[in-house]
Amino acid sequence: MTDLIIYIIFFLLTLAVSLYLNGYLNRLFVGNKLTDPINERSSHNYPATRSGGLSVFLTVCVASAFAVATYNLTFPLYVLLSVFFMTLTGFADDLIEVRYREKLFLQVFAGILMIQSGYSIDSFHGIFGVEQVPYWFEVFVSLFVFVVIVNALNLVDGLDGLASFLSIKFFLVAGGIVLISDPTLFLFFPIIIGALVGFLVFNFNRNNKVFLGDTGSLFLGSIMAFLVFYMLDTQNTLITDDFITRPLLVVLMLLYPLTDTLRAFLIRSYKNQSPFVADRIHLHHRLADKGYQHWQASVLIFILSSFVLGLNMLLFGALNLYGSIGVTLVVLILFYYLFFK
């Protein structure tokens, strides 16, 4: 009961700090004419700033520092360096637009820092009959997954609330797993969810609208990548090991960002376009073009992806890995024709 009260207090305190910083930084950005440009790809037609990501980052830093000082919350040094480096890369991109080749190089460097923390993808956990993998392959796969995750979340940040809702879903599931596996790390989850809820208040505010920008999406994506490494690393025992295989679990936790990014890259490649050039071919843009309001589309995607995750966790014991993959594909095709076609 005492722990629950502490978690609630940290959530509420973080929410309050997030609300203050989002309002303050938004006014600061507007005062310095750092508003988001409106163009043919924009999903807004009124002034907005990309201050939200910086607000979330600073809120999490302040709350985490307090948690470290007063409780047993700890983070590996190289994880902190990797996340900070990605956040700095995103901030630079929001201000001066870093070219994608340079951004990719910086992401690989941040991924190397993350691996130095001691967490990585050192096993396939029986997928394709593979358990432990050689170290060189472990590094290659970990870097690839890191780059994919940070870019996938960045690419789906195209509607108000979407990246935040998907991040909250991810952190809720990861938090539930970590609470059993490593209670000392769990305090971080009320902190980051509180920061995102405070951001959402302004993200849905037409008069004082803020976006995550690359600062926020790369910050959140790098944290997600660390938690994926944490969950896939064989040195950690997860409560979910008894009823779902780890690789499938993390894919389902990131289902929409991964599937939408893969779809967008395939379509762009088919059209002989650069896979890194921004456009409006994402599934969430389809919903917006069909008349869904941003919050409606974001909530719908949140519900559909949560349904697929929950269904697999319920049925995995009866279906095994390949049965779950088959059911997931059928459900995704059904959802596509019902909502996105």
Tokens 């459900």 locate to: 331
Q: What is the mean pLDDT of residues 60-66?
A: 95
Among the residues of 187-282, which ranges form H helices? Answer: 188-203, 213-232, 246-253, 255-270
Q: Give Cα separations from 42 to 26, 112, 120, 159, 244 (angstroms).
A: 19, 34, 37, 9, 39
pTM of the model: 0.93
Q: What is the mean pLDDT of residues 254-263?
A: 95
Check the CA dihedral 320-249-114-95 and report its sign: positive
Each residue of 136-169: pLDDT tens digit? 999 999 999 999 999 999 999 989 999 999 999 9
The pLDDT, as a whole number, for residue 154 is 92
Each residue of 17-57: pLDDT tens digit? 999 999 999 999 988 878 776 655 555 556 789 999 999 99
Calpha distance 41→149 (Å, rounded): 23
Tokens of 128: 């394709």
* Average pLDDT over the chain, rounded to an integer: 89
First-to-last C-alpha distance (Å) of the chain: 47
Tokens of 26: 């938004």
Give backbone dihedrals phi and psi of 36, rounded to 5 degrees, phi first.
Answer: -75, 130
Domain boundaries, the chain: 2-340
The pLDDT, as a whole number, for residue 45 is 59
Angle (deg, nearest 10), helices 255-270 and 294-335: 80
Calpha distance 145→157 (Å, rounded): 19
Tell me which of 60-64, 203-207, 225-229 is least confident. 203-207
